[in-house]
Structure 1
Amino acid sequence: MNITKNIKSIAKNVLQEEAAAILKLTDYINEDFENCVQAILNSTGRVVVTGIGKSANIASKIVATLNSTGTPALFMHAADAIHGDLGMIQANDFVICLSKSGNTPEIKVLVPLLKRKGTQLAALVSNVDSYLAQQADFVLNATIEREACPNNLAPTTSTTAHLALGDALAVCLLEARDFSKEDFGALHPGGSLGKRLYLKVEDIYSLNAAPQVKEDATLKEIIIEISSKRLGATAVLDNFGTLTGIITDGDLRRMLSNFDNLSGITAAAIMTPSPLTIDCDAYAVEALAIMQQKNITQLIVTKGGTFAGFVHLHDLLKEGLV
């Protein structure tokens, strides 16, 4: 059958069905969910998330989210658990078992073994009347009406619901632990995401020159300073070393339109007074936000209120922040 004309409609229906299923989950956030969060917070062990089939894939992602948001977690495949991997679970660990039906053979074998260890167990299920739900200490209800698959077979809506409920659990734990963006950055040092969370202006600006002229500097001195330091601008300081302005390449071009006689021009006459600045202790992404908002390519850096140098957009590009 040729479905080309219906592709957009099919895709939209899938997204609408799954979105509606996720929204319906809000009706199932009850005391069991709240008590589960509290039990994990009180636990001295790790959170072990397990499942089989597509549930195992979702369990693995939930583990990654928990670990990255301050809750130590590990993944255990339910099939492997009953063939030796159960040894990874310690008595003080907390187990979350994912299953749509809650009645798969592997789960029925695994649950008694977990209870024998005395491990607390939460069931994240789409069938609250299942064996798993009945045996669990906490039930995280992810009931759905049907899969987005037209045959109501392929795990689609159910896995999406399980994933969303796992995210809700992780965020509740994150907020309960007062997990900050600094904490998040400490766990994500790699890549552009990590740099956004820990890289500071101080780590960048010191690698650049610090072009500066006095207020009475001549036009020749200004041009030489800007050209030699290769940042497209120079700071302007008074005789006490206080920052009073900035002169950019653009200021020089505008000067040519505003002055007929270039002799006797000083920095004070063409500078932009009270320039934008950023403290060296600020995060680099803050500098990027200012540059993007003001449509500029360089920003003066201060340290303790005193001129210290420049950070340039190219620096942020090199760090992968843009």
Structure 2
Amino acid sequence: MPISGSPQPTASSTQPPRRRRRIRRSHNETPFADASRMTTRTVTRDHRVRILSNRRETHTYWRLRVHLADSIAIRPGQFVMVRTRDQWEPLWRRALVIYRAEERADGMELEFLYKVLGRGTALLSRQRPGDELEMLGPLGNGFPTDADSKAEALLISGGIGLPALYLLAEALARNGRTVRLFHGEPTVEPEGSLPALDDFARVLGPEAITLATEDGSKGFHGVVTEAVEVHLERARRAILYACGPTPMLRRVAEIAARRGLPAYVSLEARMACGFGVCLGCAVKTQSASDRTPRYRRVCVEGPVFRAQEVVWDEL
């Protein structure tokens, strides 16, 4: 169907019809995981939320707190798609991982950490307490909290990947697990600290937090995966959970494969719809058992995947 406002084709038109581009793939490669269920999926999780606070935490990070009148089940690592109610430009919602969630007598309080990276998040940063947002979620596949329960859980983040791990840290600590956080930044910000690390320290204890900076301005001097490898030299048994830039996640997958450790990664991807219809966030994966390649949607089958399932060379 033509987009509203576009010229309609006429019988006198001499322009040949456009042919649909075919995507080439090998004979044993399936196009999308669970494609048969795509047309039957019903989205019934659209909410209107009220902003409680929206403040700048550091030079680059903002902290958004909203009230949701409903009570919803949230798994660590899930996200929502948000849009301001008074603007339709930009058209698409923006994906925000759920940082913290707290039950209240009148619903729930949700918290998000985000960076201003474009028009959508710039518009979000200008919203004030009392303003309302449209929120779709929770969405996606989160981190498992019961995998290898005897192993030390190593949470690894870089940059804006940190918020995706807070609910996981809470859940694992609540279950009595030994948990450590490794977070990497290029350098410390002008403020000298990242408030989110203080949140993690209250849950895990300050001794369980390792900050790595590439310029050595604070903490471990080097990239965060180097700090993880140093720790693994003396760790007997571990499971890795990671969220951050793709090169960091690729390195986590390599470390896990070399040491024979289970690892789960939360992939970053640009999303338009957030619930699997547009296919814009599809990534190539492979079965852990027979290595059969297939495409999976970061917003539905992900964002969390087993590290060995991702075809890293094609990201």
TM (norm. structure 2) is: 0.28
In our comparison, the structure showing a higher alpha carbon Rg is 1
Flag the structure with higher helix content.
1
TM (norm. structure 1) is: 0.27
Q: Indicate the structure whose relative CO is greater, using CA pairs within 8 Å and at least 6 residues apart.
A: 2
Flag the structure with higher strand content.
2
